[in-house]
Amino acid sequence: MGKDRCLNITTLQTKDIRWPTSLGAHGSDAMHTDPDYSCVYVTIETAEGVTGYGMTFTLGRGTDIVLLAVRAMKRLVEGRTTTSIFERFGQFWRELTSDSQLRWIGPEKGVTHLAVAAIINALWDLWGRIRNVPVWQLLAEMEPEELVSTIDFRYIEDVITPEEATAMLRKTKPTRSERIQYLLANGYPAYTTQIGWLGYSDETIRALCRKYLAAGFKAFKMKVGQDLQNDIKRCKLVREEIGWGNQFMIDANQTWNVQTAIEWVISLKDFKPLWIEEPTSPDDVLGHAKIAAALREHSIGVATGEMCCNRVMFKQFMQANALEFCQIDSARIGGVNEILSVYLMAKKLNVKVCPHAGGVGLCEMVQHLQMWDFCSVSCTMEGRMVEFVDQQHDQFVFPATINEQACYVAPRAPGYSTELKQEAILQFEYPHGTEWKRMFAEGIFTHEDY
């Protein structure tokens, strides 16, 4: 690709944006019973007038804490040129995650890593806008050496080296354009979780199953984990609606210990779930491995990753054969750069990647990553799909779009699809947005709630 324009970064600004999704039980599961879908929203402005937009996803309370972490890191971005970042992006990523004082409250996990993701995602949006291509295409059209240079391989070279990653990408390059054309024509398969939030009534679940069947979906996921008898009833209800020819997955959102997870899922085995997602603590590699081993005879896989904090944890999960479906999250680990390394490890270790999405902006972002994987890494859609949740897409300038075959349509607008509409910011910035002022005035929420 040609040499990029060199822009001067002047300011990094950040906002706390929250939507009151708890009012409709949207996003509710066994662990997160009243989420208000939220994000820390970052804008990176340049002297030349080009702006990048990025975000990290949160659930309401705590968004302000992540915002403070972003502000603590802004000094590492402001005053830089885009060339000084993008030509040594892997090294810059390490600088951002390795500040000698800030890293003490991480490192590479939790609040500080969520903040890194918001900044990094904004930088990739900016890079896509500079090159005038969507991020999936930016990644797919990079020379292997350039792409590999964006990744910090520290701590994972015992699984994959930069040289191996470069060779892997070189091998797929000759047929890459064919897959790009296929993607543009057909999109990428999606599954929906919208039918299965734990706070939904039976009638709502039935109606949503019918809605998404009519929209072309062939894979459905339901939340479980609070009450076994209720889970049995709800699994039966979903199977009645979607039939046995469609795929069905269940998600416990980390609520069980290891033995409970095994026993509970075996109690649901007759409903033929493709996977159990997040059956126990997101940090328990060996616990997941034990669960996975116990469920293999029932042809039920283990899926996890949306709360996996960094590439090192993913490395261990894959090495330990503790998951069959790797669920990277576009805002959980340190943004695009680190996620690329997980895809490359998954390719080498023969693990399917089925990304976590939903939330605010996760569908918008993660579609780019999975499309790049198809074009340049795994080169297949077999056994792979991207989660879709029908929330807040109308708040974006370039929202994720699903076609009549329930596939994500490949984005064509430059960037990472992360720009919010100005109206959304005016309404939902916390606590002074017009919608929050209205809800406080009407007593729907109180300041004590947060």
Mean pLDDT of 256-283: 98
Q: Are residues 102 and 235 in the same domain?
A: no
Out of 218, 356, 368, 393, which one is annotated catalytic? 356
Indicate if the alpha-carbon torsion angle 57, 63, 69, 73 is positive or negative: positive
Cβ(43)–Cβ(397) below 8 Å: no
The whole-number pLDDT of residue 313 equals 98
Q: Are residues 201 and 99 in the same domain?
A: no
Mean pLDDT of 228-253: 97
Q: Are residues 115 and 213 in the same domain?
A: no
Q: Is residue 306 part of a domain?
A: yes
Q: What is the pLDDT of residues 166-189, one digit of tens each?
A: 999 999 999 999 999 999 999 999
Q: Are residues 113 and 213 in the same domain?
A: no
3-state secondary structure of 376: helix
Q: For residue 423, count CB atoms less than 10 angstroms from its CB and return exposed for 0-12, middle for 13-18, buried for 19 or more.
A: exposed
Q: Is residue 168 part of a domain?
A: no
DSSP state of 3: P
Which of these, 303, 328, 367, 306, lies nearest to 137 by C-alpha position? Answer: 367
Q: Are residues 133 and 34 in the same domain?
A: yes
Whole domain around residue 372: which residue ranges?
175-409
Q: Is residue 373 part of a domain?
A: yes
The whole-number pLDDT of residue 27 equals 82
Out of 223, 288, 290, 352, which one is annotated catalytic? 223
Mean pLDDT of 95-116: 95
Confidence bin at 432 (pLDDT 50/70/90)? very high
- Reply yes or no on whether 432 is catalytic: no
Please say if the pLDDT value at position 29 is more than 80. Answer: no
Query: Tokens 């209720």 appear where?
Result: 230
**Domain of residue 289, CATH code:** 3.20.20.120
Cβ(408)–Cβ(367) below 8 Å: yes
Q: Give the pTM.
A: 0.97
Q: Is residue 324 part of a domain?
A: yes
HSE-CB at 159 with a 13 A cutoff on CA atoms is: 24
**What is the count of structural domains for the chain?**
2
Q: Are residues 247 and 344 in the same domain?
A: yes
Confidence bin at 2 (pLDDT 50/70/90)? low
- Reply yes or no on whether 356 is catalytic: yes
Mean pLDDT of 371-376: 98
Q: Is residue 157 part of a domain?
A: no
Calculate the average pLDDT of the chain. 96
Please say if the pLDDT value at position 339 is more than 70. Answer: yes
Q: Are residues 92 and 181 in the same domain?
A: no
3-state secondary structure of 195: strand
Please say if the pLDDT value at position 1 is more than 70. Answer: no
Q: Is residue 1 part of a domain?
A: no
Q: What is the pLDDT of residues 118-139, one digit of tens each?
A: 999 999 999 999 999 999 999 9
| 288-to-254, 259, 295 alpha-carbon distances in Å | 11, 11, 11
Q: Are residues 242 and 96 in the same domain?
A: no
Q: Are residues 280 and 427 in the same domain?
A: no
Mean pLDDT of 89-105: 95
Q: Is residue 3 part of a domain?
A: no
Q: Are residues 208 and 278 in the same domain?
A: yes
**Domain of residue 47, CATH code:** 3.30.390.10
Confidence bin at 448 (pLDDT 50/70/90)? confident
Q: Are residues 393 and 428 in the same domain?
A: no
Q: Is residue 417 part of a domain?
A: no
Confidence bin at 162 (pLDDT 50/70/90)? very high
Please say if the pLDDT value at position 330 is more than 60. Answer: yes
Q: Are residues 333 and 213 in the same domain?
A: yes
Indicate if the alpha-carbon torsion angle 412, 413, 419, 421 is positive or negative: negative
